[in-house]
Amino acid sequence: MADEKNLGREVTGWTAPPRPDGLTLNGRFVSLEPLDAAKHAADLFRAFDGHDELWDYMPVGPFASSSSFHRWMRDATAQNDPYFFAIRDVQRGKWVGFCSLLRISPEAGSIEVGFITFSPELQRTPAATETMFLLMQWAFKAGYRRYEWKCNALNLASRRAAQRLGFSYEGVFRQHMVVKGRNRDTAWFAVIDSEWPALKEAFGVWLNPANFDRDGRQKERLADLTALVRVASDPALRR
């Protein structure tokens, strides 16, 4: 008898998840709401002003004026993909960054986090990590099967952040784009739904107040906790 064809695992009991339209998220350190130029552009321009390096690997920026930033944000948020969020530092009551969910494909159960623009005061803080956790948690709770992270392959800081957050390395797409007149090879990372329960536990351990000493120093590193879940590590980070 001829061997049966292997056509892939059948997906049963799954329905396409919703889009993130109108989504707000609240955590202990941050709250996220849909980005709005009239409400957020002026404050975010001040938070980013003087830090042109934030735009090095972005397809836009840096912005010479608040008005040009406002225009870009107004046009960007008129689309529904990427879908942008403003990030508010709850303790200080300040808008400190923005990010987006993009390449939103409910029919495939796939969604990507990107356009992550954190002001210096948000970078390397529990609030920054909680921002990423809240979005990932929403995606898997909503029913997405795959949560992606892509970045310029030269952006080692972004590749390091992806790995720390538990994304598994999937390779580099060569000559993937031309951005600001320059070649971009793109590094790909992803988390899938079967990995989420263990990653959620790792985030819970790291974000727990007991994981920080009186000076705010972490006791356990998130990268060590998520390493137990990742199926592939980024070879560029071993050098």
* pLDDT above 60 (res 1): no
Tens digits of per-residue pLDDT, 132-145?
Answer: 999 999 999 999 99
Measuring CA to CA, how many Å separate 30 from each of 78, 90, 129?
24, 5, 10
pLDDT, tens digit, 9 for 90 and up, residues 88-99: 999 999 999 999
Q: What is the pLDDT of residues 192-238, one digit of tens each?
A: 999 999 999 999 999 999 999 998 899 999 999 999 999 999 999 98
Q: Angle at the Cα of 175 (from 51 to 52), degrees rounded to 5?
A: 5
pLDDT above 60: residue 239? no
Q: 28 vs 6, 25, 97, 130, CA distance in Å?
A: 46, 10, 16, 8
Q: Is 232 left (phi over 0), alpha (psi -120 to 50) or beta?
A: beta
Residue 62: is the preceding peptide bond cis (ω within 30°)? yes
